[in-house]
Amino acid sequence: MDPTAKKNTVSEFSYMLQRQASDDSAEVNAFDDINSLVKRDQANQGKPAETLSSLPQASFNYINSIVGSGVIGIPYALHRAGFGLGLFLLVIVAAITDYSLILMVRCGHLSGRFSYPGVMEAAYGKGGYYLLSLLQFMYPFLAMISYNVVVGDTLSKVLVRFVPAWGSSMGMVRFGVVLVVTIFVVIPLCLYKNVSRLAKASFLSLACVVLILMAVVYRLLSGDYSVVPNTPESWRFAHSDLIPAVGIMAFAFMCHHNTFLVYQSMQNATMERWEKVTHFSVGFAWLVAALFGIAGYCTFRALSQGDLLENYCWDDDLMNFARVLFSVSILLTFPIECFVSREIVRTQIKRFYSHEVVEYDTDKDPSHVTGEEDDRKSMITTLVIVFSAFIISPYTECLGPVLELNGLLAAIPLAYVLPGLAYIQLSPHSLFSQEKLPAAGLVLFGTIVTISGAAILMPNLIGDCRTGIIMGYCKDDERALNGTFFVASTLDPNCATDKM
């Protein structure tokens, strides 16, 4: 037999055995994958293996998982790190993310556990499992807080466009928007039983992001914001705030919770094919993030805010449309984050009381609970999580610090530290071998960034942002000529705005 064919046959046979073991036992507590939230069409409909994803289809699914709301903060990350150094860091973060995603699947083959919790439990027992559980709860919960900040900021500007009188009390308008959206949109979606329909609509989120990118590029090329003033910080190659910038970038590339779902959906899944999917998907995600960063930063430079859409004038109807699209994208993503948080809480409660591993049927939507008591507990857990995120969100009006916090404390450990630690533990090679040294470097990088970033961010977590403000360059020409917009360039760049 040809050696290459023999290798592929052995690899595929090994994968089939491991996947069978995964189906029987390793999917225990696999709440990290959307697969544990969505009914498998193949299992439900009895489709043959040929209906699994091809390489292009798997790549699209993975791109859809990677590209999300985090790209809106890339111009702000370039401002924090410096334009030149920021672009270099964006390449580094993408390359490290690419390596960590490949490493996770290698850990799955080594352990025979094709879920993130399964890998961590195989590597470090209950301690690794509970650490992962904590981080996996933090990541979607902080994301939900950031979504509230974004929805409040974006939709309040759209409302003021139609009712200008409300501009004098933007704080109340913003709070009212988040409250109404939480009660009438978020809660019904989060209590919705058929999660699969929401997950299948997630491609709309990617479509919205692409349309927003087109609007951002158009506004740059049109020169409509050429009045934005330059400052001494505008085109500096490097700044000292590169650690927070890395946190934002890591948040933008975070997709590790969907890794095993995409891998197991592939036809003839092997490491070679997985590497191709990962390289293409991360490369495309980097391209989208780089275009967002370059177009946004070139338009607003040192005045770039954590939420890029906050930089555009309130009477810019094209960008108001982009704000609505972004809010739609956020609202489509919010329930999935809530489902993940809820399932983690419910899993930990069941495991605490039963003192044993709690198994979930991965062919069944676990949100579709049976029994009146379970239904009531699920509803209470959902309401507590949603309202907790709602109560915390008004404490900051800056999206930047929230993205930094989520990136540094949750995304970086989940994306870099834990996959590296798992591989070091599971691989039979010595620590200083050629196979393990890159993983050790990944752990070291993630640990340094997380610890130093937390030390920098925590004292300044609540920024100096305000509601009821308008960018100086958005005022009429007469006021701009009188130097009004100059005030915008002298304020804190985290919220470089001029009071209305």
Q: Where are the domains of the chain?
A: 51-359+372-469
Question: Tell me: domain 51-359+372-469, CATH 1.20.1740.10, correct?
Answer: yes
Q: 443-452, 453-462, 470-479 — which one is most confidently predicted on average?
A: 443-452
Q: 368 or 310: which carries more pLDDT confidence?
A: 310
pLDDT (0 to 100) of residue 487? 35
Q: Is a pLDDT exceeding 90 seen at residue 451?
A: yes
pLDDT: is 358 or 275 the higher one?
275
Q: Is the pLDDT reported for residue 362 higher than 60?
A: no
pLDDT tens for 307-354 read 899 899 988 999 999 999 999 888 888 888 888 888 888 888 887 776
Span 184-207, pLDDT tens digits: 999 998 887 666 566 666 678 888
Three-state SS for the chain is: CCHHHHHHHHHHHHHHHHHHHHHHHHCCCCCCCHHHCCCCHHHHHCCCHHHCECHHHHHHHHHHHHCCHHHHHHHHHHHHHCHHHHHHHHHHHHHHHHHHHHHHHHHHHHHCCCCHHHHHHHHHHHHHHHHHHHHHHHHHHHHHHHHHHHHHHHHHHHHHHHCHHHHHHHHHHHHHHHHHHHHHHHHHHHCCCCHHHHHHCCHHHHHHHHHHHHHHHHHHHHCCCCCCCCCCCCCCCCCCCHHHHHHHHHHHHCCHHHHHHHHHCECCCCHHHHHHHHHHHHHHHHHHHHHHHHHHHHHHHHHCCCCHHHHCCCCCHHHHHHHHHHHHHHHHHHHHHHHHHHHHHHHHHHHHHHCCCCCCCCCCCCCCCCCHHHHHHHHHHHHHHHHHHHHHHHHCCCHHHHHHHHHHHHHHHHHHHHHHHHHHHHCCCCCCCCCCHHHHHHHHHHHHHHHHHHHHHHHHCCCCCCCCEECHHHCCHHHHHCCHHHHHHHCCHHHCCEEC
Residue 395 pLDDT grade (very low, low, confident, very high; cuts 50, 70, 90)? confident
pLDDT of residue 404: 85
| Stretch 274-292: mean pLDDT | 95
Report the share of the chain in percent with pLDDT over 90: 42
Q: Is the pLDDT reported for residue 182 higher than 90?
A: yes
pTM: 0.79
- As a whole-number percent, the residues of the chain with pLDDT over 70 amount to 76
- What pLDDT, on the 0 to 100 scale, is given for residue 462? 56
Query: 14-23, 163-172, 210-219: which has the minimum mean pLDDT?
Result: 14-23
pLDDT of residue 368: 42
- pLDDT at residue 481 greater than cutoff 80: no
Average pLDDT over residues 233-262: 89
pLDDT class of 65 with cuts at 50, 70, 90: confident
User: What integer pLDDT is reported at residue 484 of this predicted model?
Assistant: 33
- Tens of pLDDT, residues 103-130: 999 999 999 998 898 999 999 998 999 9
Identify the band that residue 67 occupies on the pLDDT scale cut at 50, 70 and 90.
confident
Q: Over the chain, what is the mean pLDDT?
A: 80
Candidate from 4-8, 35-39, 167-171, 485-489 with smallest mean pLDDT: 485-489
